Amino acid sequence: FAVQGEKWKYTNLTWSLSSTRRPSQLDPYGTRSVLARALDVWAQASRLTFTEVNSDEADIVVSFAKRYHDDAYPFDGRGAILAHAFFPGTGRGGDAHFDDDELWLLQPRDDDEEGTSLFAVAAHEFGHSLGLSHSSVKGALMFPWYQGIQPNFVLPEDDRNGIQQMYGPKKSTKWAKIPYYRPAEPPPTTTTTTTTTTTTTTTTRRPYINQHHNRHQDRYPNRPYTPYPRIPSKYPAYYPEKPNHYPYHPDRRHYNSSEEHPRRTNHHHNFRPTETTSHPTTYRPRYPYVQPEYPSNPRPNYPNDPRQDNPRKPYYPEKTTQRTTTTTPSDKPDKCDTSYDAVALIRGELFIFKNRYHWRIGANGHYPGYPMETTRMWPSLPRDLTHVDAVYERPDRKIAIFIGKELYLFNSQYLVPGYPKPLSTFGLPESLDKLDAAMVWGHNGNTYFYSGTMYWKYDEEKGRVDYDYPRNMAMWKGVGYNIDSVFQWKDGKTYFFKGKGFWKFNDLQMRVENERQYPSSTFWMGCPTERAGRRAGYK
């Protein structure tokens, strides 16, 4: 193929059959249909779209003329020159002229050697309208000599390459309809999971990521669903009331409307009422706290109420067993003064892991209710999990969690069958006890595993590390050995974590931008500087 040089600056082109120079021997409707099919040949192979308009100002104006017709390229009667078109541009740029003396065929006929397929010639001429010159490949659509058209015509590869070089291939819609973060199907029940007996009768509800699980149609998919009970009742509507007080939590703005806790005018993030204040308040310690009863007004039991059988039950998130106790969780980390076990960007959200908990930070900041046990998000992890070693999101969007000598691979929240697998499966040495960190390096798209003084490059396609690894961590200048975590943030930069601080890494220079660390809690957790810890960071 040959690209002439000029191309349209936009891909949504308009076309029109000239209002004044229409074919004298052809039905105009049939002609337009054939022309549209000819344009579709190029549209199917590229990002171009064509819209028919009724205007001589369209990008591509098709006209039929004989002999001299106001351009420097007169036709020659029947035979020889069939048509010509102009390269992209203003004015007559993109226009296509057809010799009206030819015997144009709207439908190809095998027995007609004299006739000329309008579809074949139009498809060729429109190639010129889009910027392609003639091709010397026999069989190509842009071959200058007429070749007719075959049934089930498919755009030849030479022409496809040419048009895609100019305008790009047609966008794939493979992922267009797949919802965000929804697995294709859950794994079979043969997945081994540890089962333990619970000490309470209530079941722990697992949080879902971007999935509905509490709607009527989710719980009872086979039952008919009406948005609300459309059953008239003589009794007044029931609306559950919110409790008159909320548990005190340092991360939650608390507002109190009851007499016991009058509304304050000065709401401070960490404000803690004391007995010395003038407000008649009750001291409520930070821990422990007691969950109020939901709802504070139980639904009355109306006799013969038709809605009794079809109530619209309000939903309240179930509390875990831990929150119903009065003892303080002793290992919940302080987000403003802790190191991290692992940091990963999963589905565009930041996950920070510490001990058996993790924080989740989205576009709007911290999610409420965190830190949360990691096993609540990924239930297939060991129940006795103490901490994770490394986490990263693979290019295929699966989530890899490294714990000790094993890798747990999740498809959303579901463990992929066959996992966990030992690290040795991926070419890592048997003697390796754990990984420190793992990431997909945005600089080159490769996956790297880090442990101690060494790092490996992992081939996602082959499923094992490359043969000339491990290499010395000194390659990553400035981060030292035994890092805690590494990941690529949305800004495209690489961040290495060690202790309570982090470095920003310069991918081009292969060194940290600043030898001294920045405090992690201030940058990633939003903690005030004075709470970030006064211990000097790693250098």
Active site residues: 125
103 binds another protein (CB under 8 A): no
**128 near another protein (CB under 8 A):** yes
Is residue 110 involved in binding another protein (CB under 8 A)?
no
Contact residue for another protein among 19, 24, 107, 136 (CB under 8 A) = 136
Is residue 6 part of the contact set for another protein (CB under 8 A)? no
Distance of closest approach, residue 69 Cβ to another protein, in angstroms: 11
Distances, alpha carbon 480 to alpha carbons 255, 432, 443, 472, in Å: 47, 19, 20, 10
C-alpha dihedral, 215 to 367 to 389 to 346, nearest 10°: 70
User: Which member of 124, 356, 376, 498 binds another protein (CB under 8 A)?
Assistant: 124
User: How many chain residues touch another protein (CB under 8 A)?
Assistant: 22
Cβ neighbours for 98, distance < 8 A, ≥ 6 positions apart: 23, 62, 63, 64, 65, 82, 83, 104, 118, 121, 122, 125
Q: Find the part of the chain contacting another protein (CB under 8 A) among 141-149, 212-220, 472-480, 521-529.
A: 141-149
What are the DSSP calls for 364-433, one per residue?
TEEPTT-SEEHHHHSTTS-TT----SEEEE-TTS-EEEEETTEEEEEETTEEPTT-SEEGGGGT--TT--
Specify the stretch interacting with another protein by CB under 8 A; choose among 143-151, 225-233, 362-370, 375-383: 143-151
Cβ 145 to another protein shortest distance, Å: 5
The full 3-state SS of 441-502, as one line of letters, equals ECCCCEEEEEECCEEEEEECCCCEECCCCCEEHHHCECCCCCCCEEEECCCCCEEEEECCEE
Q: Work out how close the CB of 19 gets to another protein at its nearest, in angstroms, rounded to a whole number.
A: 23
Q: What's the min distance (Å) between Cβ of 48 and another protein?
A: 20
Among residues 124 and 160, whose Cβ is nearest to another protein? Answer: 124
- 129 or 380, CB closer to another protein? 129
Yes or no: say if 333 and 371 are a contact pair by the CB < 8 Å rule: yes
69: contact with another protein by CB under 8 A: no
In the list 82, 345, 440, 465, the residue contacting another protein (rule: CB under 8 A) is: 82
Stretch that binds another protein, among 139-147, 358-366, 437-445, 469-477 (CB under 8 A): 139-147
| The two structure tokens encoding residue 111 | 């027995």
Q: Does 168 bind another protein (CB under 8 A)?
A: no
66 is an interface residue for another protein by CB under 8 A: no
Measured distance CA(119)–CA(14) in Å, rounded: 18
Q: Which residues share a beta bridge with 519? A: 501
- 7 C-beta neighbours (distance < 10 Å), count: 18
Q: Which is nearer to another protein, 84 or 366 (CB)?
A: 84
H or E segment to which residue 360 belongs: strand 357-362
80 part of the interface to another protein, by CB under 8 A: yes
Which amino acid makes up residue 279?
H
Which residue in the set 9, 138, 234, 534 belongs to the binding site for another protein (CB under 8 A)?
138
Interatomic CA distance for residues 132 and 62, integer angstroms: 17
CB of 497 to another protein, least distance (A): 54
Residue 96 or residue 525: which is nearer to another protein going by CB? Answer: 96
Chain-centroid distance of CA 65 in Å reads 52
Interface region with another protein, contact rule CB under 8 A, candidates 78-86, 160-168, 221-229, 446-454? 78-86
Bridge partners (DSSP) of residue 441 are 446
Question: Which residue's CB is nearer to another protein, number 118 or number 428?
Answer: 118
Q: Which range touches another protein (CB under 8 A), out of 40-48, 54-62, 127-135, 400-408?
A: 127-135
Q: CA 415 to CA 411: how far, in whole Å?
A: 6
Q: Residue 227 is inside which H or E element, if any?
A: none
Measure the CA–CA gap between 251 and 522, rounded to whole angstroms.
Answer: 15
Binding mask 15-54 for another protein (x = CB under 8 A): ----------------------------------------
123 interacts with another protein by CB under 8 A: no
Instruction: Please identify which residue in 1, 75, 408, 505 interacts with another protein, judged by CB under 8 A.
Output: 75
Residues 6 or more apart whose Cβ sits within 8 Å of residue 484: 339, 340, 341, 342, 436, 437, 497, 498, 499
Distance separating alpha carbons of residues 400 and 382, to the nearest angstrom: 15
83 in contact with another protein (CB under 8 A): yes
Please tell me whether residue 133 binds another protein under the rule CB under 8 A.
Answer: yes
User: Of 3 and 385, which CB lies nearer to another protein in the complex structure?
Assistant: 3
* DSSP string computed for 513-526: S-SSPEEHHHHHS-
Nearest approach, Cβ of residue 82 and another protein (Å): 5
Please identify, among the stretches 119-127, 368-376, 399-407, 487-495, the one whose residues bind another protein according to the rule CB under 8 A: 119-127
Distances (CA, A) of 260 to 242, 281, 284, 288, 298: 15, 6, 11, 19, 21
Chain contacts with another protein (rule: CB under 8 A): 4, 73, 75, 79-85, 116, 121, 124-125, 128, 133-134, 136, 138, 144-146
